[in-house]
Structure 1
Amino acid sequence: MKRFITFLPVIVLIVLSYWSVSPLLEPGFFSIHDDEQVGRLYELDQSIKSGHFPVRISQNLGFGYGYPLFNFYPPFVYYVAEVFVLFGIGYIASVELMIGLGFLLAAYFMYIFSKEYLGKYGGLVAAVVYTYVPYHAVDVYVRGALPEFWSFVFVPAIFWAYKKLADTKKPLYLILSGIFFTCLILTHNLVAMMSGIFIAMYLLFLLWETTEKKRFMQQVALSGLIGLTLSASFWIPSFFERNTTMIKLLTMESADYNQHYVYLRQLWNSAWGYGGSLPGPEDGLTFQIGKVHIIGSILAGIAGLWLYLKKNTSWKILFLFIAMFSLATFMMTFHSDFVWDNLQFFAYIQFPWRFLLFTAFASSFLVGALVLVIKSERIKAIVAAVLMIGTVFFYKDYFTPKEYFKNVTDTDYINLDVIKWKTSIMAFEYVPNGVATKETNFGTKIDITKEQVATSSYTVIKGDIRLKEESIKPHYKKYFVSGSGGIVRINQFSYPGWNVFIDMNEVTYSDNNRLKLLQFNVPSGNHSIEVKYTDTPARMLGNVLSATSIIGILLYIILILLRKNKTSHHGKNKKRKNK
């Protein structure tokens, strides 16, 4: 019975989360803006099975010319879905399971964090309100922005780990805070950057509260070091190699942040829709924070004043979250343009309304805090139940896609013709700098037609040359060649790290062609050709730092266990002597 009572809050969260995940139970899949998710998972899966790890290159994305998607785009959610694939589950189902897990983990971490300050009833309210915030539905069922959706998991997870670290100073929470920080970077590096100011505000609050300030600062610094080094294999090459691609497209034209500020009235009420973000107040999708969330936050402010007058120290955390809520709201409006204009790296965030994630986090906590002013446990339980059930039924209809595709199967998404054209044309910002482009009514596009998509791994440009494919992998290609010599083009985009070898001797190649493909001379006779994707200094440094961090964490855990074991034996020996 005690065990049931212990797990009762989790059971409540699972039950009340049903309406957020119910569309995932429908057959097939559903319409989303970023309809590349299943195809991307397939490409990551194929790369892993070919022996390419950490995965950087997708063989078929980028119009079939090899695309370093996972060198620049955070890969975490695809690795989560890949776990299901490795257990024999289909690609669509694996994506849906990943989404469902994301909803449940976000609710769980919001609960255990909020419970630290608000008790179990406040924690449950905060978790349910967090689950059903409108932007949560927008990320999944409108935009299909699954990496950003999974950021809902790690923001409260980081706050919880730091809270536990401040309270206990235990190494476990030092390691967990670093791991959660790593996961956030690998999930959505832009959200990780945005969250920095909010995490810093919270850490200053914890520093103010703790008595062991120096030790806490040292542990926070170490957890930050763990987070940065553990994720280094991704963020170091992503940062230092970004200018080899057309990533600047992410800050231009329709992706310019100046076109996507939110009007204050939209935060209170904006029509639900499945369209896009447009200049002005008439967007095709909603940017509402949520009426329950706004009203609850205002009431929490009043409750904070009441607690302050009653000399209840809980007012401090409420005022901190009100400050976070206010800052996140401010950053979405054009009133913050001086911040965006002066912090140039903010341009990569693209959409100021991404800060809705942080209004969701802060306001959900504040709604949960309303139970703090209630003394009776029975009344707390009733109020909590009303808030949770009311929130679910007020917002559950938002968690519905525009359209179900009930008859689609994996093949409809992982067919190579689909991946090489339909999926590739949706996102191409990581193609090499210098690839031929054209201006269209929808902005800059790659100057390529469906007929020019790669259908073979190579093309003979000149001469009497015959190639036999021996091994074709995303990161490695091997051919046997014969003939009188000439020029061969490997249908692979040129990126730093690609090297060409003829008879095990490295040769120079040219990418001076409209699609920046690898092209080189082949002498007459019989030869072997190898094309290898190797680590650049940035990738090598990132890999070494990540590997070192993993080894360091494991050694640290072993050291802690040995110390604990030694202390335990010492205690037992002391008891025996006393006897």
Structure 2
Amino acid sequence: MLKRAASHELIPVVVLCLFAAWAFLARPSLPRETDAELHVLRTAELAYALRAGDLYPRWAADFYYGYGYPIYNYYAPLTYYLANVFTLATPTAAVFGVKAVFVLGYLLGGVGTYQMVRRTHEVPAGLLAAACYLFAPYVFLINPHMRGVLAEFFALGIGPFAFWLTARHIDDPSRGSLIAAALATTALILAHNLLALVTFGLLAGYVAWRLAVMRDGRPVISGLPLVFGLLLSAFFWLNVALEGDAVQLGNLIGPGHFDFRNHFLSAGELFAPSLPLDLGALNPAFRFNLGVAQWVLAAIGAAAAIRLRRLESGYFALAGTVLIALMLPLSLPIWEGLPFLAFIQFPWRLLGPTAFCLAILAAGALDWLPKENAWLRAAPLALPLLRALPGFVPPGWGDFGPTDRLAMLNFELNGLALGTTSTGDFVPAGVDVVPGPQPTMIAAYEQGGPVDRVNRATLPPGATVDLLGQRTISHRYRVTSSEDFTLRLYLFDFAGWRASIDGQPVPIETASPEGWITVPVPAGSHEVRVWLGTTPARTLTTLISVAGAAGLAFAAWRLPASARSERAAPGNRAQAAAVLGGTMLLMAISGAAGWFQVRSTGVVAEPAEVDTRAYLEGGLDLIGYAIGQQTVRPGESLPVTLYWKAREPVPANYQVFVHLTTSADTTWAQSDKLNPGDYPTTRWPLDRYLRDPHAVAIPTGTPPGTYQLRIGLWLRDSGRRNLVLAEDGTILGDTVLLAMPVTVEPARGPVDVPVPAIRVDSEIQPGIRLVGANLTPGTSFDAPLGQLAVDLVWLSNRGDLPAYGTWLRLVAPDGTVVAQAHRSTDEKQYPTPLWTDGEVVREVMGLWIGEDVTPGTYRLEVALSEDTPSAWHPVTLIERSLP
């Protein structure tokens, strides 16, 4: 009877979970505009391996143009296996499998949070916690829909479940509680590398808190689920640690987008309400926030915990506070002091675990309300759901398309990502230069047969190589040649690849710089086999996991077969279910009616600060823009958001730039992107606009004054910019000049002297040193003609300087001046008489290199003078070549 009642209790929770997952259940297919596309392709690739009999391949044979990629050896694989369970390892059904795992994540997260709270609270409190967690902005919207990160989202689902099962095991240890908690911890570790690290740390802290602060549980038995979770998953995580040097893991923490320093949140954003999503956008704006209902209810619940001395809630208050602090800029010294934190990449990733902590605390908010008033205690359940209305309807999506091997190749050929990762995180260490795609392999994928990975152009005359068999991690060839030669394969070498000739092992050599496998083959007819085998690290870690399974079985056998199932009284369930049901109905109606969300139409982007209509060659229009601030200082970034829309199908993938300029050919700062809005232009729909945010970094030394922003598109392959057109087709230029000026103000206080690419450190005039220069395109100039941009960095050592003009020239070995530029003091953005002692000043100039400048080595020289210079100073050498 009690078990039946407990199972009936879960019905409202399960309904709430499915309601949170409504978009995945109600809509067909999945979006291609988010990382969900990457996870679908990984699922399909694993399905091919499973169908070939490779149960744990560690290797994605069709990634990186077919050269292979050891992604399953390093990226947590659980979600891809679960997706293939749902599809019976059918590659063409990968979309369905991924959707099922998303839905499962909602179910696990909601039920786990509810059960964690029900140990100590009534049903309404458990439902409130589940609602707060499921509808937290990061859990409900940002992670599954705006980012589409399947693995991380599933970790957010399994995390609360692991907490509940661990807490239950500490409450009443038994065979079942130990096995369940250990398996949940194992699943957490196998779900997502980075979030598992954070959540496991929170779990360990929770166990320690129960033992040390609450004086609850038995020390050894309480920690067993964590120990066995680590042992059972050692075949994965420990192997990653031992084989980390076999790939280029350092790419994960490079500068730029994946540098944690660029992703701290302000307190204002964290505690702000969610933005209404513009459903007329392909990638609408959103906030990385906690959710107003979540943090308000958590604060009320924390106060109740203090009043009632709920020690368990104290842990979640402490953990939540620490997590929030780690997302703020004030935590920078901690991130820099603990190097492993850099692998988290985005401090805002901690929003997920924080949401769980806040949800547990929020349950305590009901402690302030009288128990005899059931409707009053049920009313707060509506708050987290209603606060989710601005993002309740996520952006729509169309048909995903095919998920076969050719689709994977086309994904990479379109420039989206190689290996379904952004930074080449798991490229084998022997790959110094990533090679481009091979026409023979592209043809094989297009034909749909076995992929020919033999570099046939390097075979000796008369030699033949026939494919005898091929699987994900195994290739057999019949090789016939009249002479010894080296068989070269379009296959990345990696730890564990082996080769044999007629059954006898032979060494593999790595071809540089591509990192391909080569095998020395003697004259004659031979069977050559190349396969991915085990390594000492893989063998060791697998044995540890097997030993862990045996240890878990033994430890469970030593525990009681069952334990007491003690829970708080259920309380008034009917009213809580009624409030949830009514609120969900209201949300469904409002979502269908679009009451709380925006939908831009036509050529208008509602969030744009300024509406415009600039026609660009290639079928793209700039329809608006917003500049976050019109005043900026050196060392800061200027936020600029562009709004684009395709007026017709776009024929190529264009690149975008935002230049801070004083003239069309003088650029002081810029932001460049491979894809506007981080989405290839050939895939833009015609019915929605695309938001393209930029952060234009203002370098140290940029002189104060008024600047203009110029926008443009270009094609990387040719270097050609897209023309800007009038409505009648008249050519207006190749950049769009924005109407809003930008003011650069002087830097605050002393600044560090920057280190330019070319160091000079020479006194050019009394009180003025040339620190160095940055050149664009660099010290090699191979274009037929064009401008060499020279960004000079000066350091003033005193004030009250004369009015100097600046001269640049390019000098041939025989002393002939082949190019020269001059800027008088009146033409300068920041004349020398305004310079102050200790001030760093940039000066951007350009030299025109014509076709008459013949190949050779030239000397770049600079001069400062009040009139015609008599003394020139060398800057660097320029290598001139012609294509």
Q: Is the CA contact 2:41–2:403 (under 8 Å) kept in the aligned structure 1?
A: no
Q: Which residue of 2 aligns with 1:170?
A: 174
From the two aligned structures, give the one with the greater helix fraction.
1
Code of the residue aligned with 2:505 in structure 1: it is E
- SS for the counterpart of 1:13 is helix
Code of the residue aligned with 1:119 in structure 2: it is E
Q: Which residue of 1 aligns with 2:343?
A: 348
Q: Which residue of 2 aligns with 1:278?
A: none
Report whether the alignment pairs 1:448 with 2:452: no
Q: Is the CA contact 1:301–1:322 (under 8 Å) kept in the aligned structure 2?
A: yes
How far apart, CA to CA, are the structure 2 residues paired with 1:273 and 1:382? 29
Report whether the alignment pairs 1:459 with 2:455: yes
Q: 1:266 to 1:272 in 2, by over 3 A?
A: same
- SS for the counterpart of 1:511 is strand
How far apart, CA to CA, are the structure 2 residues paired with 1:142 and 1:411? 21
- SS for the counterpart of 2:98 is helix
Q: How does 1:331-342 map to 2 (within 5 A)?
A: 331-342=326-337
- SS for the counterpart of 1:496 is coil
Q: Is the CA contact 2:137–2:289 (under 8 Å) kept in the aligned structure 1?
A: yes
How far apart, CA to CA, are the structure 2 residues paired with 1:87 and 1:504? 32
Measure how far apart 1:233 and its partner are. Answer: 0.9
Report whether the alignment pairs 1:20 with 2:17: no
**1:482-528 Cα deviation digits (max 9, x unpaired):** 12243221221111110111111111222132320101222222110
Q: Which residue of 1 aligns with 2:839?
A: none
Q: 1:141 to 1:227 in 2, by over 3 A?
A: same
Q: Which residue of 1 aligns with 2:537?
A: 538
**1:224-257 Cα deviation digits (max 9, x unpaired):** 2211110011112211112221221110122111
Measure how far apart 1:209 and its partner are. Answer: 6.2
Q: Which residue of 1 aligns with 2:76?
A: 74
Q: Which residue of 2 aligns with 1:107?
A: 110
Q: Is the CA contact 2:68–2:492 (under 8 Å) kept in the aligned structure 1?
A: yes
CA-based RMSD: 2.7
How far apart, CA to CA, are the structure 1 residues paired with 2:301 and 2:367? 9
Counterpart selection for 2:93 from 87, 90, 95: 90
**1:271-315 Cα deviation digits (max 9, x unpaired):** 64999xxxxxxx95421100001111221233234x2xxxx343x
Q: How does 1:507-522 map to 2 (within 5 A)?
A: 507-522=506-521
Report whether the alignment pairs 1:317 with 2:321: no
Q: Which residue of 1 aligns with 2:481?
A: 483
Q: Is the CA contact 1:61–1:424 (under 8 Å) kept in the aligned structure 2?
A: no
Measure how far apart 1:57 and its partner are. Answer: 0.7
Q: How does 1:271-310 map to 2 (within 5 A)?
A: 272=275, 285-305=286-306, 307=307
Code of the residue aligned with 1:433 in structure 2: it is A
Query: Which fold has the larger relative contact order, with Cα–Cα distance below 8 Å and residues 6 or more apart in sequence?
Result: 1
Q: How does 1:117-516 map to 2 (within 5 A)?
A: 117-136=120-139, 137-208=141-212, 216-253=218-255, 254-269=257-272, 272=275, 285-305=286-306, 307=307, 312-314=308-310, 316-376=311-371, 378-379=373-374, 382-384=376-378, 386-405=379-398, 407-411=399-403, 415-418=407-410, 421-422=413-414, 424-425=417-418, 426-427=420-421, 428-437=424-433, 446=434, 448=436, 455=444, 456-460=452-456, 461-463=458-460, 464-485=462-483, 486-516=485-515
Structure 1 length as normaliser, TM-score? 0.86
How far apart, CA to CA, are the structure 2 residues paired with 1:517 and 1:450? 13
Q: Is the CA contact 1:232–1:543 (under 8 Å) kept in the aligned structure 2?
A: yes
Segments of structure 1 that go 5 or more residues without pairing to the other structure are: 276-282, 438-445, 565-579
Measure how far apart 1:326 and its partner are. Answer: 0.6
How far apart, CA to CA, are the structure 2 residues paired with 1:412 and 1:500? 29
Q: 1:210 to 1:299 in 2, by over 3 A?
A: closer
- SS for the counterpart of 1:530 is strand
**1:408-429 Cα deviation digits (max 9, x unpaired):** 3444786343355456524132
**1:133-186 Cα deviation digits (max 9, x unpaired):** 100121110111111101122222222122222221223222222222111110
How far apart, CA to CA, are the structure 2 residues paired with 1:202 and 1:378? 33
Code of the residue aligned with 1:164 in structure 2: it is R
How far apart, CA to CA, are the structure 1 residues paired with 2:239 and 2:274? 40
How far apart, CA to CA, are the structure 2 residues paired with 1:370 and 1:47? 50
How far apart, CA to CA, are the structure 1 residues paired with 2:465 and 2:440? 21
Code of the residue aligned with 2:426 in structure 1: it is Y
Code of the residue aligned with 1:67 in structure 2: it is Y
Measure how far apart 1:432 and its partner are. Answer: 1.4
Measure how far apart 1:28 and its partner are. Answer: 2.3
How far apart, CA to CA, are the structure 1 residues paired with 2:550 and 2:262? 46
- SS for the counterpart of 1:479 is strand
Q: Is the CA contact 1:262–1:353 (under 8 Å) kept in the aligned structure 2?
A: yes
Q: Which residue of 2 aligns with 1:576?
A: none
How far apart, CA to CA, are the structure 1 residues paired with 2:277 and 2:197? 27
Segments of structure 2 that go 5 or more residues without pairing to the other structure are: 279-283, 445-451, 563-883
- SS for the counterpart of 1:28 is coil
Q: Is the CA contact 1:112–1:160 (under 8 Å) kept in the aligned structure 2?
A: yes
Q: Is the CA contact 2:301–2:366 (under 8 Å) kept in the aligned structure 1?
A: no
Measure how far apart 1:107 and its partner are. Answer: 0.4
Q: How does 1:561-576 map to 2 (within 5 A)?
A: none
Between 103-112 and 188-197, the greater mean CA deviation after superposition: 188-197
Q: Is the CA contact 1:19–1:399 (under 8 Å) kept in the aligned structure 2?
A: no
From the two aligned structures, give the one with the greater strand fraction.
2
Q: 1:225 to 1:247 in 2, by over 3 A?
A: same
How far apart, CA to CA, are the structure 1 residues paired with 2:157 and 2:175? 22
**1:200-244 Cα deviation digits (max 9, x unpaired):** 33223311466675xx21113432221111001111221111222
Q: Is the CA contact 1:324–1:358 (under 8 Å) kept in the aligned structure 2?
A: no
Code of the residue aligned with 1:417 in structure 2: it is L
**1:17-44 Cα deviation digits (max 9, x unpaired):** 3442222121222244312111100111
% identical equivalent positions: 24
Q: Is the CA contact 1:299–1:370 (under 8 Å) kept in the aligned structure 2?
A: yes
Code of the residue aligned with 1:242 in structure 2: it is G
- SS for the counterpart of 1:491 is strand
Q: Is the CA contact 2:156–2:353 (under 8 Å) kept in the aligned structure 1?
A: no
- SS for the counterpart of 2:237 is helix
- SS for the counterpart of 1:548 is helix
Q: 1:17 to 1:71 in 2, by over 3 A?
A: same
How far apart, CA to CA, are the structure 1 residues paired with 2:143 and 2:556? 37
Q: Is the CA contact 1:489–1:518 (under 8 Å) kept in the aligned structure 2?
A: yes
Q: 1:497 to 1:270 in 2, by over 3 A?
A: farther
Measure how far apart 1:105 and its partner are. Answer: 1.3
Q: Is the CA contact 2:293–2:383 (under 8 Å) kept in the aligned structure 1?
A: no
How far apart, CA to CA, are the structure 2 residues paired with 1:397 and 1:413? 39
